[in-house]
Amino acid sequence: MLKEIKNNVYNALFVAADEDGQRYAAFESDWNGEYWEATACTESGELIKGETVRLFPVLEHDEEADTWETIGYEIR
């Protein structure tokens, strides 16, 4: 699972990284908000052309508050 980290990519809405340090910068969601189009990037924030994935949010439900919270992202 990828976790959101400090954004170091110009114009990215967020950057997510896995345990191995692979990073993806998300710039826009699909039309219905189901997933994010993301591009691989380096630690310094440079985009890696040609490496695009879809990041799907991993949600956790808080039963007391009856709300959903995004706890990470997965690539499908």
pLDDT of residue 76: 87
Report in angstroms the alpha-carbon separations of 73 from 24, 32, 33, 40: 10, 17, 13, 14
pLDDT of residue 53: 94
What pTM value is reported for the model? 0.84
What is the Cα–Cα distance from 14 to 8, expressed in whole angstroms? 9
pLDDT of residue 73: 95
3-state secondary structure at position 44: coil
Mean pLDDT, residues 61-67? 90
